Structure 1
Amino acid sequence: MTLEDRLGREITGGVLFDSFNRGRYATDASFYQIMPAGVVVPRSIEEALRALAICRDAGRKVTPRGGGTSQCGQTVNDGIVIDLSKHLNRMISLDVENNSCVVEPGIVLDDLNRQLKKHGLWFPVDVSTASRATIGGMAGNNSCGGRSLRYGTMRDNTLSMDAALADGRLLHFGEVTRDLAQLNSGNGGLDLFRDMLDLGAREAAEIAEKFPKVQRRVGGYNLDALVPRNAPNNLAHLLVGSEGTLAFTTQVELKLWPVIRNKVLGVCHFGSFYEAMDAAQHLVKLRPIAVELVDRTMLSLGREIAMFQPIIAAAVRGDPDAVLIVEFAEEDQAENLRRLKRLGELMADLGFGWDQPKRKWGGVVEISEPGLQTGIAEFRAAGLNVMMSMKQEGKPVSFVEDCAVPLPHLADYTERLNAIFAKHGTSGTMYAHASEGCLHVRPVLNLKLEKDVKAMRAIAEETFAMVREYKGSHSGEHGDGIVRSEFHETMFGERIIADFREVKHRFDPDNVLNPGKIVDAPKMDDRALFRYAPNYRVGDLKTALDWSAYPGAGGGFQGAVEMCNNNGACRKLEGGVMCPSYRTTRDEKDVTRGRANTLRLAISGQLGLDALASDEMMDTLKLCVSCKACRHECPTGVDMAKMKIEVLAARVAKHGLSLRDRLVGYLPRYAGLAARFAPLANWRNDSPLLRKLFEKFAGISAQRDLPKWRRDVFKVGVEAMGPADGREVVLFADTFNRAYERENLEAALRVLLAGGYRVHIPEPADRGRPLCCGRTFLSAGLVDDARAELDRLVATYAPFAQRGVPIVGLEPSCLLTLRDELLSLRSDEAAKSLSAQALLFEEFLVREAAAGRLRLPLGPIAGTALVHGHCHQKSFGAFKSVEQALRLVPDLNVETIESSCCGMAGAFGYGADTYQASMDMAELSLLPAIRRAEEATLIVADGTSCRHQIADGTDRAALHVARVLAMSLDRTRSNP
């Protein structure tokens, strides 16, 4: 019996041995790639331990894995990966009185803190990857977070751990006295614990001499936890930072802290990076809980990312070379404000002023508004991804990434480090924990090039030598992995390295658990282990869309795919929209990162011939709803919706169209005929037999009603309506509102005319069927047909757009196609002018109101409007306009549903094979929120799909914002 067969027989969770799934676990957030033999996703701790035992019996290595966000290659290996993040994510117990809890290793930090918040507690090791980092992974790395100045590291906040040794013994690691008197003779770990304490006593002097005296020292095994001291030794602290090489964690007991209730930020500006680094040692004397660096490069890149632009505009003055974000968070807000004032005085004492020349230019921007504080924290937390958003072959590379030096040396260290980078022909980015002398430093290199790999090696050796000179640590937060383990001997000396090997052998004599980390590691520059190995090649790719904004071959499609750095921001479970399918399945296959990895492996030939058009690739993208959330929320700009179009186009070219694809894709072309025979076309909804036949032959779920065709479709071809001297606007009558919900277009037309606008609804320039944006064709991979439809639309609308007339639409997915995919299909001036003038209905109204040009006689609507935002509105920063437009209505209270994708997503929710996933997405937050709403509450949703999903899931009718505004007009008329 094969290992796969045995695991499949004894494990009820996932057992994944195919190349596509293994490929998704071959990388973490480092630059390494090692293909595992298989992946197990256990449903319980018992199953995880059973898998460990089976693998041990088969002589296979085992690597435990959480969020897979390791920077140094800790979670890649060629054995069996055990993914703990999907199922092993419970808080087992909570002791509020004693500020502690016990959790399973797969629980995500943000999820844990959401559960703790209602008790006034939190776990404060606030790593930037908190939305996807698991506690087990954080323990494995000895994570630190931005506020370790006050709260310490993971080690400082771990009370105990339960873990299994490779031989199956399940042990409790916690506080012990030197004589181990509290352990009975039957304890299976008694001899092991005694040996470890004896090692600590034997090596105490060597440990004291060789271990760096900085808090941010997370390299090697924590032998200092074993040395004799007055207090008990905590053996769990030996496991913390061991990177899964000593034992398999089953639960962790954590120390908890009261939540931060009050805080203020001081954004200290510096005209010189050196001066900023020199100032850090003085700023910490004010006892902040954090001092975080953001350098010029990060500010510049952040200004190019839509979600961060307003934050930087509000918090940053002028053009600083660096800013230090100083955070005060005492219980007494008055004390925070006093310290903030003292911060300004200290900056002045140090000679900084807004009117000083470049070298001493600077000052403090005070931030007390909570929303802006949150935005600044999110920007800083996204530092890695912001840096990786560079659209070029070279990227900031993590290998000297978190060295820590004593604060008095920080300025000289960074200056010398920049000199090392320049010596090797590159420059670097720097940000993060200035308060701890631990900056995230990444030189920009292209690791596909041998010369840059050699430069990396030289930079590492010279940097680590300098760190030793300053008596710092070469690993200050993100652990060892493959990147730094090789250099332990020069850092700690031969004797300590021998001690590390002794610990590893004593715990894991057969080298089962995650070998090659901390001890006996490969060379960090072994290119055979790289994501871009020497034989990495992407052949010529004929792409359907324009990818010229990205570097690389294949028209830039390769470069777009490779923008994913595996940091996993798409794995967040709450907040924003990304990634709705992952939120329901928690499968690596169904997250943007997993899809991007699969695409990269496919186009580089690592998944076999024609992998891009394969059934396995379609399965990978099956639950991608093309919500475009990743386009907006992924800080490196991975646009999976656009990439899916390429895959669908390749699929159509290879295999042709299914009946379902034909029905969906060609809908705009048969809509007119269906409207003429509406009763016949709607027969399917009323016939159980036809429902079953549609499901069997067209793959359309029998559980869904299809939108009802109507004979009285909205007519186009109106040259102009409204006053001759009114401001001109073109109303785009999209297929969905025109054919199914003409009331929305009529409402929009009434509102525009009431505002005094001159409205055009032109017929196509070719006088053929009504205009279409091509969206349905793109969703079926019919790119040429989509281009043909957009050509007709451009020919009709461009003459208006070129003279500055806004093109206003109601359906977000249709209108925003003109701002997005249109420019990927044609780049001429006519298309660009049309794209620039394309506005959603509410965007147009809000813009007009802001300019003082909107004159609408709106009457009051007493009550509440509960609003769900369309994913594409959120992706393009257009959702705020919906709220603002509704607030034009007197007396209307506007509330927003914090929701991800509704789950319908065009044709996705109608699929027989995707119906349940569709409903699961809707049930995450949208449908429960609507069910809780009072009957009189107006439900507002601009998307056709969203309205249908709401109706199907709650029997509540949702309205387009245009209809709410039209209702408000009616209130004026009825209440003169």
Structure 2
Amino acid sequence: MDGYHRLAEELAASIAGEVRFDAGSRALYANDASNYRQPPIGVTIPRSVEDIVAIHRICQAHGLPILSRGAGTSLSGETVNHAVVIDHSKYLDRVVNIDTVNRRVTVEAGAINDKVNQALAPYGLVFPPDPSTHEWCTIGGNVGNNSCGVHSVQAQCHGHGPRTCDNVQALDILTYDGVRMTLKDGYREEEIDAILAAGGRQGEIFDRLRRLRDAYAERIRQAYPQVEHMPRRVSGYNLDDLLPERGFNLASALCGTEGTCMTVLHATLKLTENVSHRTLVVVGFDSVEEAGDHVPLIVETRPIALEAIDKRLLEHEIRQHMHETALQRMPRGDAYLLVEYGGSDADATCREARELIEGLRNAGSRIVDYRIVDDPAQATALWEVRKAGLGATAFPPPERTPHWPGWEDSAVPPERVGDYVRDLKGLYRKYGYVGAFYGHFGQGCVHSRIDFDLQSEEGIATYRRFVEEAADLVVSHGGSLSGEHGDGQARGELLERMYGPELTEAFREFKRIWDPQWKMNPGKVIDPYRLDENLRMIDYTPWQVETAFTFPDDERSFARVAFRCVGVGKCRSDNGTMCPSYMVTREEKHSTRGRARLLFEMMNGELITDGWQSDEVRESLDLCLACKGCVNDCPVNVDMATYKAEFLSHYYGPGRHRRPLFHYAYGFIDRWSRLASKVPALVNFVSGAPWVSAATKRLVSMPPQRRAPRYAPETFQEWFARRPEVNAHAPAVMLWADTFSNHFYPETAQAATEVLEAAGYRVILPPVGLCCGRPLYDFGMLGHAKAYLERVMTALDAPLAAGTPIIGFEPSCITVFRDELVNLFPDDPRARRLSDNSLMLSEFLMQRAGNYRPPCLPRKALVHGHCHHKSMLHLEAEKALLEAMGLDVEWLDAGCCGMSGSFGYERDKYEVSMAIGERILLPRVREAEPQTLVVTSGFSCRQQIADATPRRALHVAEVLRLAFDEGHDTTPDVPPERGLERRRVQAQRRANRRAAVVAGALAALGWHRGARR
């Protein structure tokens, strides 16, 4: 990028935002969610509208193209280009004004769709278009793509159309040549005359647009379907909005232009009343095309959503163990329509649901089965089945052949959707393709990812032939190439098949009016790149690598691992667990997608050329907390914690980068803890002494604000060894005494022991010195990790062969056995036995312990799920256990606590660690009433809470013991941890007494001071 250094310097000197022209940043923005890849010239991240104006001015002076980008979730290639990228999403995300009287909201282009609706919720208003990415997509992206979504039908019920263009009142825009203007949703002819009279660039634009309208008006009327007949016509420019009968609506006309005409600065959106109650009806049919045949009849009942899913999609989800509980609640059928009614009256929406079924039966419809769902939680779970379409179909089992976009959102008039699906299925058969069908059938939009071969010349030639024939097919049904995702590069060159050469020339003139220099996202929509060039997989020639992990779900190939991410961007959401560092930094490189894309570019070798030694990749992975939230939250189950461990094992390989000292300090915490347990009081004194503590913290890169965890005066294993055997003839269970519970929180393991014994089991322990090696993964010390696991498998082989359950209470340790173990040793039967037989305490009690009935504890509880527990082990058993105890539980959706093993103990990560904790978890803990239990199963989570709040969190084992421990204090205003603290004090006193006995014995032997000469 030597030729652009001067440009980068000029931009950096002119804007308050950020300018990034380095290889890593270019790699991050070279891909979106489409099949295409185009590295940008560089990336700018403006902080203000003034920054955007400056970027346009400087790029125009250099004659360089511009690409506006929001969340980068395009499936058609419109958010990648060889251009200067403007990323609006980090800073320009404000809701500027809410006008409840006129039902309008004005937002910046980077405002997130869901955040806008959250701001509107107190007023009972909503912006209806909600694409499946609504939790993280931006309004600027909605405008650029002319997005719709599941509930855009709701807008039609209020007199608006379903597309973003139908719900925009005004756009504040900037042209490439620096002209800023606010364009509204209609102009009278006299207003146009006044603007022309004023002259200038705006007058010129209006004049040329009116001339364009007049020249093509009749052809536009003939070619453009009316929105009431074809609601999802998204392809092409909205030239019909220029017509007099549409009011010369420039705000609408510029929606769906995909950044090819201008840059959106602000959008003023039309709002509708939100519904306060919803009822979902799931109707089963014999086939998806038969479901499509029923759409016209159902549309007449005015639902607020009407979606379809087919049998193939359900099979994909079943095989991938997705939404298992929700799928069990689906009625019978091989395809389904999800019909939702909304309103202010629950009785009314339920009545509409029942009337729908009655109406279908009266019409002679062949319904296989149905289910009416009025419970919001159950309805949400069923909607997740539909929303999972993209993720479930990306790498579907059993073959796991990649399925790609490319013909994923065509649309037809709703009354034609059944016939269109039949014909499209026939086209699939002709080309030997497969793909699930789902989508917005209520508006005729059909989604489908297809198993195109995009990695060979022959496969791409077949792909082109298919798409050309599919374009002719959808046009023959009076439909649109795109019903939601836009044209971009995937469909731009097909527009002439839909509109003919005359209107294609009108599109070209429309762009030229706004962008005469042809510098706004060139090569997209009009005069586009070919649909079969810039395909990222045809140029993917990864180098061959040897890895410690085997990646069995990715054909044992890291090259395949590197393209697992499909770019949908869910990791940019504020909900769920992934990705905690992105949630507080808002940096693409700290999202799961950003890291995955950098690994792809590392394997590709064009932009990132130093492979495993890449500092760009290491820097991106540095703030990965290895929380494994992505394994569960990511639609395609990217496992960034494992990828990070693999990368670091090579980055710090022999003869390469030198490991920092803290890798050894934290990675081998089990070894240091065994040594410390010999003299815990001395270690605690030294670590707590200010002058020693400060020096030690500097040595191991611990932040000065952190307190080192205190070693218990007596380890759990010592406590266990000195007590008599209980339940000698009962079935045995092995309690996994992990390093943290053994050395720092032995009371947790003691409580688990007593709980299991009270349940009628004989508790045994593994040999002293065993450790799962969890901290080693954080630093990529995989050789040591494998050695640890070899020792564990050898030591536990006999009890596992005898069927003895291995019960743990630290989620990260059980996750090693359930996940990393089989990834490192996929062909070792011992690994499979240990993986299958390792359980959390709650899992064992609720799933394996017969008719176990826990004691009751009528308390309130604030429960935070450890990341590994949520993502890998899941919380169903924990939830069932606490519910059976009679606890009044509030489950926090707080994501990660921010500590995450050693992450929070590293000096340069302390601020991020605390910012993550302060998002939700720590404030809620501080707000909790003193008598409310604070419960979490992870050592890291308990340490974060102990460091940052006055509370001490309890493990579920301790909660169980509280329930049947006669000595615990049940006074309502007494914190429940007081009784547990009393146990710790008692343990300290016992240790002191033992130390006094030893000292007395030594004195009796003459080892007192001065006895030896």
Does the TM-score normalized on the shorter chain lie above 0.5?
yes
Structure 1 residue 490 displacement after superposition:
2.1
Which residue identity is paired with 2:33?
A: A
Runs of 4+ in 1 over 6 A off after TM superposition: 972-975
Kindly provide the CA deviation profile for residues 519-541 of structure 1, in whole angstroms up to 9, marking residues without a partner as x.
11111012xx111134x212221
The CA deviation string for residues 226-247 of structure 1, in whole angstroms up to 9 with x for no partner, is: 1112x63321112111111111
2:290 alignment partner in structure 1: 275
Pair 1:467-2:478 in alignment: no
Give the structure 1 partner of residue 945 of structure 2: 950
Q: Distance in 2 between matches of 1:971 and 1:677?
A: 33
Helix, strand or coil at the partner of 1:846: helix
Letter paired with 1:272: S
The residue aligned with 2:832 is: 832
Select which of 219, 226, 230 maps to 2:242. Answer: 226
Contact 1:386/1:635 (8 A) holds in 2: yes
Q: Distance in 2 between matches of 1:607 and 1:48?
A: 27
The alpha-carbon deviation at position 188 of structure 1 amounts to 5.2
Say which is worse superposed, 391-400 or 467-476, in terms of deviation: 391-400
The superposition leaves residues 29-79 of structure 1 with CA deviations (integer Å, 9 ceiling, x where unpaired) of: 100000001001111121122122111211111100001001100111111
Taking the aligned partners of 1:595 and 1:724, their CA distance within structure 2 comes to: 52
Unaligned runs of 5+ in 2: 156-161, 971-1013
Kept in 2: contact 1:859–1:971 (CA 8 A): no
Within 5 A, what are the aligned runs for 1:231-380? 232-317=247-332, 320-352=333-365, 360=366, 362-380=368-386
| CA distance, structure 1, for counterparts of residue 724 and residue 411 of structure 2 | 68
Which secondary structure state, in structure 1, belongs to the residue aligned with residue 64 of structure 2?
A: coil
Instruction: Check if 1:163 corresponds to 2:173.
Output: yes
Show the counterpart of 1:178. Answer: 189
SS of match in other structure, 1:364? strand
Say which of 33, 37, 42 aligns to 1:33.
Answer: 37
Percent of aligned pairs with the same residue?
36
What residue identity is the alignment partner of 2:771? Answer: C
Change (3 A) 1:246 1:661: same
Q: Hey, what's the Cα distance between the residues in 1 that align with 2:727 and 2:703?
A: 48
Q: Distance in 2 between matches of 1:546 and 1:56?
A: 50
Q: Which moved more, 1:683-692 or 1:607-616?
A: 683-692
User: Which whole-Å deviations, capped at 9, do the CAs of 1:810-858 have from their partners, x for residues lacking one?
Assistant: 1111122111111112232222122111111122222257x4134x5x3
Distance in 1 (CA, whole Å) between partners of 2:135 and 2:417 is 30
Alignment of 1:671-750 (within 5 A): 671-682=673-684, 685-715=687-717, 721-750=725-754
Task: Give the letter for the 1:886 counterpart.
Answer: L
C-alpha change, 1:79 and 1:690, in structure 2 (3 Å) is: farther
Please say if 1:216 is aligned against 2:232: yes
Moved more, 796-805 or 513-522: 796-805
Shift of 1:441: 2.7
What SS does the aligned partner of 1:482 have? coil
* 1:639 Cα offset (Å): 0.8
Residues of 1 paired with 2:382 and 2:53: CA distance? 42
Q: How many residues align?
A: 948
Q: Please point out which of 179, 199, 203 is paired with 1:190.
A: 203
In structure 1, give the amino acid aligned to 2:780: G
Is contact 1:24-1:594 (8 Å) kept?
yes
Partner of 1:390: 396
Give 1:328's aligned amino acid. Y
Distance 1:720 1:601, change over 3 A: farther
Distance 2:590 2:60 in 1: 30
1:600-620 Cα offsets, whole Å, 9 max, x none, are: 111222344442232222101
Q: What is the CA-CA distance between 1:361 and the residue it aligns to?
A: 6.3
Partner of 2:668: 666
1:728 & 1:476 partners in 2: Cα distance? 61
Match of 1:153 in 2: 163
* 1:893 alignment partner in structure 2: 888
**Cα-Cα RMSD:** 2.1
Matched, 1:870 2:866: yes
* Higher deviation after alignment, 290-299 or 401-410: 401-410
Map 1:733-772; keep pairs closer than 5 Å. 733-763=737-767, 769-772=768-771
Q: Please say if residues 21 and 42 of structure 2, whose CA atoms lie closer than 8 Å, have aligned partners that are also in contact.
A: yes
SS of alignment partner, residue 901 of structure 1: coil
SS in structure 2 at match of 1:487: helix
Contact 1:163 1:172 in 2 (8 A): yes
Matches within 5 A, 1:337-736: 337-352=350-365, 360=366, 362-390=368-396, 394-526=401-533, 529-534=534-539, 536-551=540-555, 555-574=556-575, 576-653=576-653, 654-682=656-684, 685-715=687-717, 721-736=725-740
Q: Which amino acid aligns with 1:158?
A: V
For residues 202-221 of structure 1, the C-alpha deviation after alignment (integer angstroms, 9 at most, x for no partner) is 31101011224422111121
Cα offset for 1:595? 0.4
Where in structure 2 are the equivalents of 1:852-871 lying within 5 Å?
852-854=851-853, 858=855, 860=857, 862-871=858-867
2:987 corresponds to: none
Report the residue type matching 2:241 in the other structure.
A
Shift of the 721–258 alpha-carbon distance from structure 1 to 2, 3 Å rule, reads farther
Q: Give the AA of the match of 1:532.
A: M
Amino acid at match of 1:533: I
Q: Match of 1:515, as an amino acid?
A: P
CA distance in 2, matches of 1:79, 1:565: 22
Seen in structure 2, the aligned counterparts of structure 1 residues 689 and 194 have a Cα distance that, compared at 3 Å, is farther
Matches within 5 A, 1:84-95: 84-95=88-99
TM-score calculated relative to the size of structure 1:
0.94
Question: 1:21 aligned to 2:25?
Answer: yes
- Structure 1 residue 694, shift from structure 2 partner: 4.1
Give the whole-Å Cα distance in 2 for the aligned partners of 1:566 and 1:291.
Answer: 26
Q: Is the 8 A contact 2:562 2:603 kept in 1?
A: no
How much has 1:700 moved relative to structure 2? 2.0
Could you say what secondary structure the match of 2:447 adopts?
A: strand
> Is the 2:737–2:766 contact (alpha carbons within 8 Å) kept by the matching residues of 1?
no
Decide whether the 8 Å contact of 1:132 with 1:569 is kept in 2.
yes
- What residue identity is the alignment partner of 1:162? D
**Are 1:165 and 1:508, in contact at CA under 8 Å, matched by a contact in 2?**
yes
* Residue pairs, 1:844-855, within 5 angstroms: 844-847=844-847, 851-854=850-853
Q: Is the 8 A contact 1:403 1:475 kept in 2?
A: yes
Contact 1:798 1:831 in 2 (8 A): no
User: Which deviations, in whole Å up to 9, do the C-alpha atoms of 1:457-506 show, x marking residues without a partner?
Assistant: 11111111112222211121111100111111221122212211111111
Contact in 1 for aligned 2:846/2:852 (Cα 8 Å): no
| Conserved 8 A contact 2:239-2:253 | yes
TM-superposed deviation, 1:727: 3.2
Q: How does 1:68-79 map to 2 (within 5 A)?
A: 68-79=72-83
User: Secondary structure, in 3 states, of the residue corresponding to 1:269?
Assistant: strand
What is the alpha-carbon distance in structure 1 between the residues aligned to residue 782 and residue 736 of structure 2? 21
CA positional deviation for 1:954 = 1.3
* 1:698 to partner: Cα distance: 2.8
Deviation of 1:393 (Å): 6.4
Q: CA deviation at 1:692?
A: 4.5
Separation in 1 of the partners of 2:802 and 2:452?
46
Tell me whether 333-342 or 66-75 shows the greater mean CA deviation.
333-342
Deviates more, 1:41-50 or 1:298-307: 298-307
Q: Is the 8 A contact 2:237 2:256 kept in 1?
A: yes
Report the Cα distance in structure 2 between the residues aligned to 1:731 and 1:288, rounded to whole angstroms. 54
Counterparts of 1:788-937 in structure 2, within 5 Å, are: 788-827=787-826, 828-847=828-847, 851-854=850-853, 858=855, 860=857, 862-889=858-885, 892-937=887-932
**Which segments of 5 or more consecutive residues in structure 1 lack a partner in the other structure?**
353-359, 764-768
Q: With structure 2 as the length reference, what TM-score do the two structures score?
A: 0.90
